[in-house]
Chain A
Amino acid sequence: MIKKHWYKILAVGLILYTLWFGLMGDVPRKVVLNESIRNLYFHVPMWFGMILILAASAYHSIRYLMKPAMLHDNKADSTAKVGVIFSLLGMATGMVWAQFTWGAWWSGDPKQNTSAIAILIYLAYLVLRGSFNEEQQRARISAVYNIFAFACLVPLLFILPRLTDSLHPGNGGNPGFGAYDLDNRMRVVFYPAVIGWTLLGFWIASLRTRIITLEQKAHE
């Protein structure tokens, strides 16, 4: 029981901890940001979680290409979908935060633009999956595309925004949150939040994997 469910328990525990201390704990006092600095505990983990979940998705796609078992494809599919949900949540929460600190929902910030492109690339993955009738063909071609999508995601989110001026901390000469904002008080809440939300994403993805695996068994 514990062997199979430990990560789910850990996910819930960590998120409960961050919900409480994320709102009740002490944070640095910054002009403009004010209390909204606490968004770091909720907005940023969506993106960190998305990257980790989509990395897992690419990993399952590679596994599928090495050994074409449907389970690998099911896992790649489910994790990609959860990753897209995380990215949409990250985008929505980021826009709310931007409205109240940068003054606009969308300011064409490089990181906003590249994130939007990244989301479109993954939406195309979902469209691609939907356009096949034959299972093996869908799995193989989607796996190749998924690896390509992840290879695009990394420069889009971590390299391109840094090459130009950006409002995001840590980009275009801006110091990252890590430089001075993310002090130790925040670190002890931020990292558990990242781990907690990522594990929760894996839990939801595993549920979906199990359901579609059951569906495939029922079809046979």
Chain B
Amino acid sequence: MVLLLAFQSLAKGQVEVEMADVMRADGKIYVVVSVLLIIFIGLIMYLINLDRKVSKIENK
């Protein structure tokens, strides 16, 4: 009976694949994404700053 059920679920292709559903629902994964965005934006702002510094020297 168990085997039969197992075969049935396999046949339907309903193999449960684990994903971070719960995390996305209420696990506050968006907080991590926000942190990543802040770090990236911070690095980009530094890059813009460097770009400006080089421009200043070029215009001298």
Shortest Cβ distance from residue B9 to the other chain A in the assembled complex, whole angstroms: 14
Q: How many residues of A contact B (CB 8 A)?
A: 20
Is A34's beta carbon under 8 Å from chain B? yes
* Docked-complex contact B33 and A211, CB < 8 angstroms: no
- Given known contacts A16-B40, A204-B47, A207-B51, A31 and B15 CB-to-CB distance under 8 angstroms: yes
* Docked-complex contact B19 and A35, CB < 8 angstroms: yes
Binding site secondary structure of chain A? helix
Q: Which of B15, B33, B47, B50 contacts A23 (CB 8 A)?
A: B33
Which residues of A80-122 are within 8 A (CB) of B? none
Residues on B with beta carbons closer than 8 Å to the beta carbon of A211 = 54
- Given known contacts A20-B33, A24-B30, A12 and B44 CB-to-CB distance under 8 angstroms: yes
Cβ contacts A192-214/B at 8 Å (1 or 0 each): 00000000000110010011001
- Given known contacts A15-B40, A19-B37, A207-B51, A24 and B19 CB-to-CB distance under 8 angstroms: no
Cα distance, A30 to B17, chains bound together (Å): 6
- Given known contacts A207-B50, A211-B54, A29 and B29 CB-to-CB distance under 8 angstroms: no
* Docked-complex contact B40 and A19, CB < 8 angstroms: yes
* Docked-complex contact A35 and B33, CB < 8 angstroms: no
Give 13 A-B contacts (CB < 8 Å), ordered by A residue: A8-B51, A16-B41, A19-B33, A20-B33, A20-B37, A23-B29, A23-B32, A27-B19, A30-B17, A203-B47, A207-B50, A207-B54, A214-B54
B residues near A, CB below 8 A? 15, 17-20, 24, 29-30, 32-33, 36-37, 40-41, 44, 47-48, 50-51, 54, 57-58
Top 10 closest pairs, chain A to chain B, by CB? A29-B17, A23-B33, A210-B54, A35-B20, A12-B44, A31-B17, A19-B36, A34-B18, A19-B37, A214-B57
